[in-house]
Structure 1
Amino acid sequence: MRAHSTLTRRLLASTMPVALLLSLGTAPGRADPMIGSTLNSYGLPGGIDTPTAEMLPDATLGATIAYSDLARRNSIVFQALPRLTVALRYSRVDSTEESRGFIWDRSFDVRYQFLDEDPNGWRPAVAVGLQDFMGTGIFGAEYFVASKTITPRLRVSAGLGWGRLAQQGSIGSIGDRPDPDDQEGGKPNIDQWFRGDVAPFINATWQATDKLYLTAEYSGDSYACETGDAENCQRAVWLSDGDKLKNRFNLGLTYQIGANYQVKGYVLGAKQVGFQFSVAMDPRQAPFPSGLEKAPAPVRPRVAQNVDPEGWSGAWSADPTAQPAIQKVLGEALSKEGQVLESMALDANRAEVRIRNHRYIQQAEAIGRTARLMTRALPPSVETLVITSSEDGVPTSSVTLRRSDVERLENSEAGQIAAAAVVTDADPRPGNLIYSQDLFPRFRWGLKPYLSTSLFDPDEPFRYEIGAELLGEYELLPGLILSGSVRQRAFGNQEQEGPGNLTPDEYEAQGEDVNENGVPRVRSDGRMYQGNKSPTIPRLTLAWYAKPTETVYSRVTVGLLERAYGGVSGEVLWWPVNSPLAFGAEINRVKKRDFRDVFGFRDYEVTTGHISAYYEFSNGITAQLDVGKYLAGDKGATVSLSREFANGWRVGAWATKTDLSAEDFGEGSFDKGVEISIPLGWGTGQPSLRRVGGNIRSLSRDGGSRLRVDGRLYDTVRDSHSGQLYQGWGRFWR
């Protein structure tokens, strides 16, 4: 087959980025994408090793562990959009060329379904995919695949594959596929995409019973590297000595356990036996869909005017004891709801309260419960209810409701009260607001266990540390907060260790903290901050939050900002409450903290800063761009995408590229990773603002590293801005 021109190859290489952009704006009226029933060994919908054009239900988050003598694959898959599937994988491959006898390899996949199946006609669903499209590329492949439902229980998929899917059975080639050993780890292997030998594959899955699926496939993957086939492996340094497959046919059996789990057994090429366990869940479906929180107090309709003529006339407002009494009663009622009545303004026709929500993951639920309690506490002449959300002493948004609407719509759908509500920027001026008595200064503390983890180290893929953490917060004035934490390790396999497995003394004896390329070690010596047997102070700061104008927020934080750095951090954010677009700027002057002395510092200090832009799409997706200078002195940009659901689940990914060369950056070439954040209340059914989860990144490198400051403004105020409010408005009447 004639080699394609450079332009054609570039067009092929850009297929997936273009698909991603198209998927963000999926046209209305299109049929739902074809949904798969089983996951393959790479963790995506498919046969055994081969892909299909199937998707998972939108927002599904899944994980797969697949084991055979030829490979061990651990995958996380996320249906980021209805037609876009992404996966992160960490695999162990045996190798005779490695001193430890094996290799741990990270890989990323993406698949986009660009054509729907016609259930009443001949047209199949069609998808394009990139497998292991950046990094070492040991599993690297590209494919076009079509899937068609033959009968309600039988589905067949066929396609053309490159790379790993064309190690045998080639029907031609498109140019030459570059030697993968020449690729730089961690970078998209664009020059390889859809190049080299191309081979067909086919798979069929038959649903034998409601829970049992039988799969057969014809694959071009011969497991060349894993069986020592140097001619087809193209990765001679990774050769292994597994038994070669006898043919190209794979057979599998999958059993569904409940709604979320699958077990699979399979045979590769009539020679190798494998096993697989998969779990998949929809984050939007909670174990306790309605929650287990106590029902709110019902709305109290006002009595007739002739029953309480003084209350309706507003004459009560002339009594100087009226507001303090009402404010005290309302504050006590809100306290039982896990909220703080910060301040209140009251006259004959209007009442404004500023509340702090300490319980509900959706601010709309806190506002709804507050509105109910206001109908019970306020005299009948008060018609206008203004509920202002306050975060760290700073007013963010105000929701204005007519009391008559609250009374009228209590038993209607939440959309009606949402249409009746008016959301505006909160006025930063105190006006005639009166703070609740004995609110400031205010001290809170807590004691909880902590778990610190580290992933993807080839010598120890999972490191952990478990201990106790004491947290405290002392709010001197509204917006002026002294806070910190103390940790005491109990046990774990995280040990204090310098880069290159140096002991702490050996590493400190080197003096300056720079790597072999002269790049400051701002993160790659992170294990020097772990494994301390004595108490540590991860954070001890004094922060001041303010709101200079209705749409501008500010923050200044000084102290021990994180475990590795101390100094001063300043930030401003422009964000109108009803705007999907926000802009921010941050500057930090920090010094590296000592590895052992919790109040000591090392010699390295740096000024960093970023200009940021944020945009919230209507489907729960937030895009963020940060441009500026990082901790190692490198300059560049970070692009982040995240998707958050109404119940608080958040899944995202980011990538950072700076002016550091791939050689100076080291393995991985540039920084990237994924984030998973799960609200604790999702699993327990009890309302809580606490979350579990964190960042999953391939390696801790020095390039593209930012300061980890608690309380950044965008995350602080976003829950009470209109985008998040309306996403969670369904819980207003909860």
Structure 2
Amino acid sequence: MRAHSPLTRRLLASTLPVALLLGLGTNPGQADPLIGTKLNGHGLPGGIDTPSAEMLPDGTLGATLNYSDMSRRNTLVFQAMPRLTVALRYGRFDSIAEDRGYVWDRSFDLRYQFLDEDPQGWRPAIAIGLQDFMGTGFYSAEYIVATKTISPRLRVSAGLGWGRLAQSGGIGSPFGDRPGPDAEEGGKPNVDQWFKGEMAPFVNATWQATDKLALIAEYSGDNYACETGIAEDCPRSVWLSDKDELKNNINLGVSYQLGENYQLGGYLLGGKQVGLQFSVAMNSAQAPFPSGIEKAPAPVRPRPSPAADPEGWSGAWSADPTAQPAIQKALGDALDKEGQTLESMSLTATRAEVRIRNRRYMQPAEAIGRTARLMTRALPPSVETLVITSSEDGLPTSSVTLRRSDVERLENTEASQIANAAVLTDADPRPGNLTYSEGLFPRFRWAIKPYLSTSIFDPDEPFRYEIGAQASAEYELVPGFVLAGTVRQRVLGTTDQEGPGGLSAEEYEALDTDYAENGVPRVRSDGRMYSGNSSPTIPRLTLAWYAKPTETIYSRVTTGLLERAYGGVSTEVLWYPTNSPLAIGAELNRVKKRDFRDVFGFRDYEVTTGHVSAYYRFDNGITAQLDVGQYLAGDRGATVTIEREFANGWRVGAWASKTDLSAEDFGEGSFDKGVSISIPLAWGTGEPSMRRVGGNIRSLSRDGGSKLRVEGRLYDKVRDSQSGHLYQGWGRFWR
């Protein structure tokens, strides 16, 4: 068999997480995954520091804070698929080679459970895992592990580990020697090390002593070489600590459940080191208010019989020029109380179309259902066809057509029945005989609220923050033509204005250049120069025009101060049929770098950047996105983004960008990558809201693979009212 080149092996390894996310789910022939409740020191289900074959409930987002005298480990874990667990870790450990005496290191984990436990037989659950598979290799390990439930209170796991899990007790090297860590800074899949070198057994057992208290014991091949100064076993001996060696390979621990989502634990490593751990796990399917606590909608009003209202059934009312304005005013007022804006309306004797803007409900289906109810109460009985068109900043996206008789007949049935009766089509971009609601345009909205800006993963200061006040305003002259801006005033924080490489702001400005020593433009690595200003800043001030030239094509032109670091012009076009899982777009931007202090000033650096993008939404709620084009630093390449969205609105994703910028020029991390989390506020409060909390988490801010951060991109704007998302939340139509 011909061996793959190192580049090919790295590319294949980079696609492994994507292939698992897209291609692997619950096999119909398998039972449900074995679920675990205890997170180990690496943030995944397991013992104390050894793994198990257990999974978390699908969609669970968790975090662990682990502390001992040897290290600190902070891990974010997500059950991306029923059998696939992913984790992002940020750990600190002592280093005698560092002036500051310690090192902060990032690492990523994957675990896949490919065989489930047979509760009635002997077969255990079996999983395979990669630990720190794409980093500097401090925690690097691979393993195959089996877990069996011995009794309702006792569960045992045993397996074979490589790398970190086989520093002692090795029983052979069946797959060859393990090469040392790459001399580069890391950030790439360490494929050549996987399942290489000595392998060693490990075992752990968890006994549920009470409903809340669990006792844990394990034997591990991890002798904590780097933390205890065993140079021959530490993959990067320059990171050695000076702690004493452990007495043995046996670890003992306890875990106590605090409520439904929290755990507090303690452990003893090797008979010598004591540690503590706090864990939190939130299951997206278990909201504090699963059904919401919003006010019930008005019920459907059945029409009177033709004999009781012959004039209403005849349609003669439609000849009265005052009829539609009165009906539109009454319906608009009723919709406003439901958090909807009646943008426009057309009305004939048998058909009514309304274009609404949803201001309140995370699931568009709930907004459409409440609108349909109110239409039965406001319209004369001769109107049989109801068309509800969703509008986003003046963009008509999709239209749901219903027969009024179906709405009346199916009100108290399952939502699937009204879904089968509804017809979803692309909205007609032509205004036709639609009449805008009186006094709606121009529209002016504003708000003043606090803001919190954070920065993590910096080796010198892992967590930085800035708190202040933010004033936002939006002026919509006509539908689709929007002037918007934001002003911020810092109040306090630890984020100070500073240049890259430890330079002060004054020293960096004195260099009078936007390029690094290697010639790469500093498009993001000097981002802290835009922070820490005591005077007001204007992160954004834009004029945007949204249009829909055809039923399936959307367009956007945005000009002004597009983001805190860049201003210019951004243009975009998107092809996205309502009932298609595929969307294709293109974006072209011409931008110039903004001044660090003068909110209306600019620096010399300017660039043309843009991408061709393809989006595909799978039936399991996963969306894959591919962007190919030129980035802010002038480098060219591609970005792959995978995001999973749940029916309750949770979104968790990851992305990676690789460009023609070499790993050496890119610097530490080798290529751009990160994860994103977005949780609807309504999930935690039960109150209907369009607001979300979350953001992007990236290991480093480098210049390669950096994209422009412009608000109002078309796919994000119209995706919620397209068929995939709309039908995913259709269960809330009758809410």
**TM-score range relative to shorter protein:** over 0.9
Match in the other structure for 1:701: 702
The one-letter code matched in structure 2 to 1:68 is S
CA distance in 2, matches of 1:680, 1:212: 32
After superposition, the Cα gap between the structure-2 partners of 1:171 and 1:22, relative to the gap in structure 1 and judged at 3 Å, is farther
1:304 shift after superposition: 1.3
2:548 corresponds to 1:559: no
- Contact 1:338 1:357 survives alignment (8 Å): yes
Q: Distance in 2 between matches of 1:431 and 1:404?
A: 25
Aligned to 1:670: 671
Structure 1: distance between partners of 2:306 and 2:14: 70
| Structure 2: distance between partners of 1:482 and 1:571 | 17
| Offset of residue 718 of structure 1 | 0.5
Residues 327-377 of structure 1 show CA distances to partners (whole Å, capped at 9, x for unaligned) of 010011111111111100000110000000111111111101100100000
Hey, what's the Cα distance between the residues in 2 that align with 1:49 and 1:684? 35
Q: Say whether the 8 Å CA contact 2:14–2:189 is kept in structure 1.
A: no
1:181, 1:235 within 8 Å by CA — same for their partners in 2?
A: no
Work out whether residues 54 and 113 of structure 2, in 8 Å CA contact, stay in contact via their aligned partners in 1. Answer: yes
**SS in structure 2 at match of 1:372:** helix
Structure 2 residue 685 is matched with structure 1 residue 684: yes
Structure 1 pair 414/79, CA: closer, same or farther in 2 (3 Å)? same
Distance in 1, Cα, partners of 2:29 & 2:141: 33
Summarize the alignment of residues 246-645 of structure 1 with structure 2, pairs less than 5 Å apart.
Answer: 246-645=247-646
Unaligned runs of 5+ in 2: none
Question: Partner of 1:419: helix, strand, or coil?
Answer: helix
What is the 5 A alignment of 1:90-169? 90-169=90-169
Deviation at 1:667, TM superposition (A): 0.5
Residue 503 of structure 1 deviates from its aligned partner by: 2.1
Query: CA deviation digits over 1:522-545, x for unaligned, max 9?
Result: 000000000111111100000000
- For 2:19 and 2:159, locate their aligned partners in 1 and report how far apart those are by CA, in whole Å: 18
Residue 183 of structure 1 and its aligned partner are, at CA, apart by: 4.6
Is the contact between residue 162 and residue 197 of structure 1 (CA under 8 Å) also seen in structure 2?
yes
The offset of 1:69, in angstroms, is 1.1
Q: Residue 38 of structure 2 corresponds to which residue in structure 1?
A: 38
Alpha-carbon distance change, 651 to 22 in structure 1, aligned in 2, over 3 angstroms: closer
1:600-631 Cα offsets, whole Å, 9 max, x none, are: 00000000010000011111111100000000
Which amino acid in 2 is paired with 1:73?
R
Deviations 1:173-217 (A, max 9, x none): 132212115254111111111111111111111111211211111
Greater CA drift, 371-380 or 201-210: 201-210
Whichever residue aligns with residue 91 of structure 1, its letter is: G
RMSD: 1.7
Structure 2 CA distance for partners of 1:118 and 1:23, relative to 1, 3 Å? farther
Q: 1:7 to 1:342 in 2, by over 3 A?
A: closer
Task: Tell me: CA distance 1:351–1:552, structure 2 relative to 1, closer, same or farther (3 Å).
Answer: same
Does the CA contact (< 8 Å) of 1:357 and 1:366 recur in 2?
yes
**C-alpha separation in 2, matches of 1:223 and 1:458:** 22
1:649 CA displacement: 1.2
Which residues in structure 2 correspond to 1:9-48 (within 5 Å)?
17=17, 20=20, 23-48=23-48
Indicate if the aligned counterparts of 1:183 and 1:189 stay in contact, CA closer than 8 A.
Answer: no
How many Å separate the matches in 1 of 2:457 and 2:434? 53
What amino acid is the match of 1:351? A
Which amino acid is 1:172 matched to? Answer: G
The whole-number CA distance in structure 2 between the counterparts of 1:318 and 1:18 is 60
Provide the rounded CA distance (Å) in 1 between the counterparts of 2:130 and 2:230. Answer: 24
CA contact (8 A) 1:398 1:426 kept: yes
Gap change, CA 1:25 and 1:68, over 3 Å in 2: closer
Structure 1 pair 284–523 and aligned structure 2 pair: CA distance change class (3 A): same
Distance 2:77 2:105 in 1: 17
Aligned to 2:72: 72
Output the CA distance in 2 between the equivalents of 1:616 and 1:22.
10
Describe the SS at the equivalent of 1:354.
Answer: strand
Q: CA deviation at 1:84?
A: 0.1
Greater CA deviation, 290-299 or 458-467?
A: 290-299
**Matches of 1:75 and 1:728 in 2, distance apart?**
31
Q: Corresponding residue for 1:728?
A: 729
Q: Percent identity?
A: 79
SS in structure 2 opposite 1:476? strand
**How big is the shift at 1:222?**
0.2
Question: Residue by residue, what CA displacement relative to the aligned partner does 1:117-145 show, whole Å, maximum 9, x if unpaired?
Answer: 11122211111100011111100000111
Task: Work out whether residues 26 and 32 of structure 2, in 8 Å CA contact, stay in contact via their aligned partners in 1.
Answer: no
Separation of aligned partners in 2, 1:630 and 1:23: 30
Greater CA deviation, 254-263 or 54-63? 254-263
Amino acid at match of 1:481: V
Secondary structure of the corresponding residue to residue 548 of structure 2: strand
Q: TM-score, normalised by structure 1?
A: 0.98
| Aligned 1:169-248 pairs, distance under 5 A | 169-173=169-173, 174-180=175-181, 182-248=183-249
Structure 1 residues 181 and 240: CA distance shift in structure 2, 3 A: farther
CA distance in 2, matches of 1:450, 1:464: 10
Paired residue secondary structure (1:327): helix
Q: Aligned to 1:275, what secondary structure does the other structure show?
A: strand
CA distance 1:731–1:670, change in 2 (3 Å):
same
Tell me if structure 2 keeps the 8 A contact 1:13–1:193: no
1:344–1:434 Cα contact (<8 Å) kept:
yes
C-alpha distance in structure 1 between counterparts of 2:19 and 2:157, whole Å: 21
Q: CA deviation at 1:16?
A: 5.2
Q: Which amino acid aligns with 1:83?
A: R
Distance, in Å, in 2 between the alignment partners of 1:394 and 1:77 is: 37
Provide closer, same or farther for how the CA distance between residues 360 and 13 of structure 1 changes in structure 2, counting only shifts above 3 A: closer
Q: Provide the secondary structure at the position in 1 that maps to 2:703.
A: coil
Structure 1 pair 390/701, CA: closer, same or farther in 2 (3 Å)? same
Single out whichever of 42-51 and 494-503 deviates more from structure 2: 494-503
**DSSP 3-state at the match of 1:548:** coil
Distance 1:592 1:7, change over 3 A: closer
Segment drifting more, 115-124 vs 475-484: 115-124
The answer as to 2:651 corresponding to 1:656 is no
- Deviation at residue 239 of structure 1 after TM alignment: 0.3
- Tell me, what secondary structure is at the counterpart of 2:432? coil
Amino acid at match of 1:146: A
TM-fit CA distance, 1:23: 4.8
Task: Check the 8 A contact 1:642/1:652 in 2, yes or no.
Answer: yes
8 Å CA contact 1:23–1:83 kept in 2: the answer is no
Q: How many residues align?
A: 731
Question: C-alpha displacement at 1:5, in angstroms?
Answer: 9.6
Equivalent residue letter for 1:605: E
Contact 1:642 1:653 (8 Å CA) reproduced: yes
- Distance apart, 1:157 and its partner CA: 1.0
What's the CA shift string for 1:89-125, capped at 9, x where partnerless? 1111011111001111111000001111111222111
Distance 2:516 2:715 in 1: 34
CA distance in 2, matches of 1:415, 1:686: 24
d(CA) in 2 for partners of 1:537, 1:22: 40
C-alpha distance in structure 1 between counterparts of 2:116 and 2:228, whole Å: 38
Q: Distance in 2 between matches of 1:584 and 1:707?
A: 16
Amino acid at match of 1:646: A
Shift of 1:19: 6.8
What's the offset of the Cα at 1:509?
Answer: 1.2
Report the TM-score when normalising by structure 2: 0.97
